[in-house]
């Protein structure tokens, strides 16, 4: 917990991905998941690996599964 608080105090933030449109600047697509609803196409379904930013620059891209 100390490490997480220290990183947050120094500008490191997790990237919120689930339910948001796929953005190649923030996300790395590792899987395409078939979806029944047309509105879910191009939307992030799952985030196996979190991504992080530091002062609004990408530190690590979030690895995500995207609806197809």
> For the segment 43-68, what is each residue's pLDDT rounded down to a tens digit?
999 999 999 999 989 999 999 999 98
User: Domains along the chain?
Assistant: 2-67 (2.30.22.10)
Q: Tokens 């992030």: give the residue.
A: 44
Which residues, including other chains, have CB under 8 Å from residue 15's CB and lie 6 or more apart? 26, 27, 50, 51, 52, 53, 58, 62
Q: pTM for this structure?
A: 0.81
Side-chain-side CA neighbours of 18 within 13 Å: the count stands at 5
> For the segment 4-15, what is each residue's pLDDT rounded down to a tens digit?
899 999 999 999
Identify whether the C-beta of residue 60 lies closer than 8 Å to the C-beta of residue 52.
yes
- Strand-pairing partners, residue 57, are 54
Give the DSSP letter of residue 40. Answer: G
- Strand-pairing partners, residue 43, are 21
């Amino acid at each position: 917990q100390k490490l997480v608080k220290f990183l947050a105090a120094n500008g490191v933030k997790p990237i919120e991905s689930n339910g948001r449109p796929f953005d190649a600047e923030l996300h790395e697509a590792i899987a395409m998941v078939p979806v029944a609803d047309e509105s879910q196409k191009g939307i992030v379904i799952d985030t196996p690996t979190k991504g992080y930013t530091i002062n609004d620059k990408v530190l690590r891209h979030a690895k995500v599964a995207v609806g197809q």
